[in-house]
Homo-oligomer: A and B are copies of this chain.
Amino acid sequence: MTGKLTVVGLGPGSPLQLTPEADAVVRNADDLFGYGPYLDRLPERAAQRRHLSDNRQEMQRAEEALKSAAAGNCVAVVSGGDPGVFGMAAAVCEALEQGPADWRHIEIAIIPGVSAMLAVAARVGAPLGHDFCALSLSDNLKPWETVERRLELAATAGFVIALYNPISRARPWQLDRAFEKLRAILPATTVVVFGRAAGRSDERIAITQLAQAHGGNADMATCIIVGSAETRLVERPGTAPLVYTPRGTSRPAA
């Protein structure tokens, strides 16, 4: 008997940003697999088994979840934000491809969610209002030179840049190097948004300029949006400014 595996996006963290279909999947699963802090968001249910694992054990978690589904269980693998954006969906696909042939009979579904960059952008205005890219700063799974080259090409192209996995205890210097790289291409006044835990009680949003941006403002739970040269800041009396990137440009690409 083969079960089903669903990879579910829990959104940025607030239950108000969880879609009804994601909610239904986590309610109805026999087995829940995920990084501890994501599973902690979900109420314990007597009939469910919970399988917590550590942050960097994505492949092992994916394999265990597939094994459980192959044994006939209804399995949910949870991700924060959207599972397809630096989340568990790719890890499950990768484990499935590399695993035993009978895993290809498991019914697989992916439930999308509101990704961190969308939630952070919404808190300040519309910085992703025009062409943009999403880039993981982690060099655990790709060479750092590739990260730097992508930053350079993205900034040259005029993309707004959303940075995921910006910093961690094991990767303390990469974010400042990324800012340094971007300062060589973009104006010093380019708007930079640091968004931590958007929509949650411990939310922290900071708006600064590229010249002043530094890694000390970020942690693992931060998503950073670096504007393009066209991103604008609109001051408002008595409240936070709006940050947005206009929908058009007359500027030719470099």
Contact = CB atoms under 8 A, between A and B. Distances in A.
A21 B216 CA distance: 32
Contacts of A129: 84-86, 89-90, 93
Interface in A79-136: 82-86, 89-94, 96-97, 104-105, 108, 110-115, 118-119, 121-123, 125-136
Interface string A213-254: 000000000000000000010111110001011111111111
Query: Oligomeric state, in number of copies?
Result: 2
A249 B118 contact: no
A153 interface: yes
Nearest to A102: B237
Which size class do A's interface residues fall under?
35 or more
A11 interface: yes
A145 interface: yes
A245 B140 CA distance: 16
Given A108-B242, A131-B134, A149-B253, A19 B18 contact: yes
